[in-house]
Structure 1
Amino acid sequence: MRELRIRVLAGVFAVAAVLGWALAGLLDRWGALPSVPVAAPVVLAVIATVLLATALGLRARLKAQRERQPGAKGVDPMMAARAVVFGQASALVAALVAGLYGGTGVFLLLSDIEGPARRADTLYAGLSVAAAVAVVATAFLLQRVCRLPDDDNDDPQAPAAA
């Protein structure tokens, strides 16, 4: 499995931000700019919390297994792989959502903010971007926790072990 790269997430974020800004401008000209849902930052924060709990739980179990503590429960490799895939998928979606809401938030900041509804939309867009950053950070933590140790025998020049 390949590790998730920050460059990929930054690219997804940048493209989505430009599209979000352009789409917000287009929809605003038509008078049909939808509001940013209150649930957006909440859902992203819940996903970040689930990823953090998974990472901390796996880290504790792996540490207990590594230290050979009595009664330590092992980690199923498939479960760890599924957790990493969930984290990577969550990070990609969070980068996309952060870009879209970030672009919308920038449009709202640069436009004439009229009334409390637009200010609330700007606030919710900013909170969504912050929560999406938390999802990405916890996904990288989960990926790091589940990383396999490097094998020293990968070097073809290294002498064979006896």
Structure 2
Amino acid sequence: MKPLRPALLAGIAVVSGVLAWAGAKLWDSVGDLPGIPTAAPVVLAVVAVVLLAAAISIRGRLRAQRDREPDAKGVDPLVAARVVVLGQASALVAALAVGVYGGTGVFLLSLLDQPARKSQAVTAGFTVLAGLAVIVAALWIQHICKLPEDHDDPTAPAPR
């Protein structure tokens, strides 16, 4: 499994942000732009908290295992791989959400004189912050679960 690169996440966010801004501008010129769901930042914040809790748990168990503490629970490699995959998938979705809500929020900044649009711009801002929290937590999980490189093993396959 290859690590997820922050540049890829930034690219997804930028491209989706530009498309969302253009789509919001076009939609608003044709009709009324739909509202931003208030549950979006809450859902992303919950995902960030779950990923953060998983990262803290795995990090603690890996440290206990590394320090050879008695009665230390190890980390099953399959569980660690599943958590990393969950984190990577969450980061990809969060990058898309950051872009979409960021682009829409930037468009809504031109409509701050309307109270409803001001509220939606604030919601979009909180959604972007929650999405960034998901990305940070996912990248931290990926860092925690990274296997150390073994340079001393002559039977190990050569890196490509």
TM-score by length of structure 2 reads 0.93
Alignment of 1:104-123 (within 5 A): 104-109=104-109, 111-123=110-122
Residue 70 (1) aligns with residue 70 (2) = yes
Distance 1:32 1:90 in 2: 31
Aligned residue in 1 for 2:99: 99
- Output the amino acid matched with 2:51: L
Where does structure 2 lack aligned partners over 5 or more consecutive residues? Answer: 156-160
Q: Secondary structure at the match of 1:36?
A: coil
Task: Give the AA of the match of 1:82.
Answer: R
**What is the CA-CA distance between 1:152 and the residue it aligns to?**
1.4
Identity of aligned residues (%): 57
2:151 corresponds in structure 1 to 152
Q: Which residue of 2 aligns with 1:141?
A: 140
**AA aligned opposite 1:15:** V
Aligned pairs, how many?
155
Q: Which amino acid aligns with 1:105?
A: G
CA–CA separation in structure 1 for the residues paired with 2:51 and 2:154 = 34
Deviations 1:126-152 (A, max 9, x none): 100011110000011100110111111
Q: Find out whether 1:82 has 2:112 as its counterpart.
A: no
The 8 Å contact of residues 111 and 118 in structure 2, kept in 1 or not, is answered as: no
Matches within 5 A, 1:23-38: 23-38=23-38
1:48-69 residue CA offsets vs partner (Å, 9 max, x unmatched): 0000000000000111111111
CA separation in 1, counterparts of 2:118 and 2:30? Answer: 20
Partner Cα separation in structure 1 for residue 96 and residue 6 of structure 2: 13
1:67-101: CA deviations, max 9, x gaps?
11111111110100000000011001000000000
- For residue 32 of structure 1, report the CA deviation from its aligned partner: 2.9
Aligned residue in 2 for 1:7: 7
One-letter amino acid of the counterpart of residue 113, structure 1: L
The 1:30–1:114 alpha-carbon spacing in structure 2 relative to 1, beyond 3 Å, is: farther
1:27 aligned partner, one-letter code: W
3-state SS of paired residue (1:72) = coil
Equivalent pair of 2:111/2:117 in contact (CA under 8 Å): no
Query: Which secondary structure state, in structure 1, belongs to the residue aligned with residue 32 of structure 2?
Result: coil
Compared with structure 1, are the counterparts of its residues 154 and 26 closer, same or farther at alpha carbon in structure 2 (3 Å cutoff)? Answer: farther
Q: Which runs of 5+ in 1 are unaligned?
A: 157-162
Q: Which residue of 1 aligns with 2:54?
A: 54
